[in-house]
Amino acid sequence: MRQTTEDAVERFRGLDRWNTSDVITALWNGQMQAVASCLPALSDLAAAVDAAAARLAAGHGRLIHVGAGSSGLIALLDSAELFGTFAWPEQRRLVVLAGGLDLSAGLRSDTEDDEGMGRQRIIDHRVGAEDVVIGVSASGSSAFTSGAIDQAARQGALTIGLTSMPQSALARVALHALVTETGAEVVAGSTRLGAGTAQKVILNLFSTALMTRLGCVYDNLMINVRPDNAKLVQRCIAIVGQVAGVDQADAAKALQHHGDIKRAVLALAGVPECELSPLLAEAADNLRTALTLAASRGWSPGR
């Protein structure tokens, strides 16, 4: 019989009387099982990434995360990191949490059951066919989240549901269901444990692969990262130097003059300054495509 995230399993009875080492070992085993549960979902995840990339490549749609409780916080974290890592535009990301984004008083649990509120929030944000909406719910039974995902689909958005229950409401209403069957938690019902770990893993994979498909990664380098502090300035200089094949001094000069990695690399490849923005626009902001176009037009270093 399939175990759910709410089941209390016999082997963890008396957990509060175990010694600390055994408690930690049980929790660690639960985490490893949660990571392993992601493996069967990888093919579905790849299909969701490709569909999302196709939808967002036009340059107008938003990546929208929806959730409640701990699942919502994990979704919020994934969204919040997109700008710093990939310079994903703030106007193209949105987080819809049951109870709202003001977490100063903690998480409200009652709003999770309000399907109508989930639907209304999607209507209010004018979600449409250019958008990608990913809903996260461990049990898949959050009425707020499944309502929002169903409404988003009705309004033409690409919808993705991340859950640990294959026959849940969320899995049924999402166009792409990403299911990680994490089973029963060591502490019964505490889905911030195994299910939460699986959610974090899948969201990490989803957003990173998606940003890679959208041209935010060159080779395995974060070419959209912004030089906003000393550490990131040095990282940007190193990336420019590696991609352009120049020393750190020349990379630093180019970065300082042009302000970001892509323009610095293209300038070092011989693209005239007046052509940088038009070339990137023609290449849909993809550095590899832009470099190929530059070479085809005879631009080269020193010319």
CATH number for the domain that contains residue 208: 3.40.50.10490
From 213, 246, 269, the end of a domain falls on 213
Q: Which of 112, 115, 181, 185 is catalytic?
A: 112
Q: Which of 6, 81, 130, 275 is catalytic?
A: 81
On whether both 98 and 173 belong to a single domain, the answer is yes
- Does residue 303 lie within any of the structural domains? no
* Helices 261-268 + 248-258 axis angle, to 10: 120
Give pLDDT, residue 7: 64
Decide if 181 is catalytic: no
Per-residue pLDDT of the chain (303 residues; tens, 9 = 90+): 466 776 677 788 899 899 999 999 999 999 999 999 999 999 999 999 999 999 999 888 999 999 999 999 999 999 999 998 999 999 999 999 998 887 766 666 678 889 999 999 999 999 999 999 999 999 999 999 999 999 999 999 999 999 999 999 999 999 999 999 998 888 888 888 899 999 999 999 999 999 999 999 999 999 999 888 999 999 999 999 999 999 999 999 999 999 999 999 999 999 999 999 999 999 989 999 999 999 999 998 865
**DSSP string for residues in 52-120:** HHHHHTTS---EEEEE-HHHHHHHHHHHHHHHHHH---GGGEEEEETT-S--TT---SGGGG-HHHHHH
Are 273 and 259 contacting, i.e. CB atoms less than 8 angstroms apart?
no
On whether both 93 and 158 belong to a single domain, the answer is yes
Decide if 282 is catalytic: no
CA-CA distance, 284 to 262, in Å (whole number)? 12
53, 57, 62, 68 alpha-carbon torsion, rounded to 10°: 10
On whether both 135 and 261 belong to a single domain, the answer is no
- Does residue 2 lie within any of the structural domains? no
- Does residue 220 lie within any of the structural domains? no
Domain of residue 244, CATH code? 1.10.8.1080
Q: Which residues contact 299 (CB under 8 A, 6 or more apart)?
A: 269, 270, 271, 272, 275
On whether both 191 and 47 belong to a single domain, the answer is yes
Q: Which residues contact 26 (CB under 8 A, 6 or more apart)?
A: 12, 15, 18, 186
On whether both 158 and 274 belong to a single domain, the answer is no
Q: Which of 150, 175, 176, 180 is nearest to 165 (CA)?
A: 180
On whether both 55 and 110 belong to a single domain, the answer is yes
Give pLDDT, residue 62: 98
Are 197 and 34 contacting, i.e. CB atoms less than 8 angstroms apart?
yes
* The total number of residues written for the chain in this structure: 303
Are 48 and 63 contacting, i.e. CB atoms less than 8 angstroms apart?
no
CA-CA distance, 259 to 283, in Å (whole number)? 19
Give pLDDT, residue 300: 85
> What is the domain extent for residue 20?
10-213
**DSSP string for residues in 141-164:** --HHHHHHHHHHHHTT-EEEEEES
On whether both 266 and 191 belong to a single domain, the answer is no
Give pLDDT, residue 264: 96
Q: Global pTM?
A: 0.91
Instruction: Give the count of domains, the chain.
Output: 2
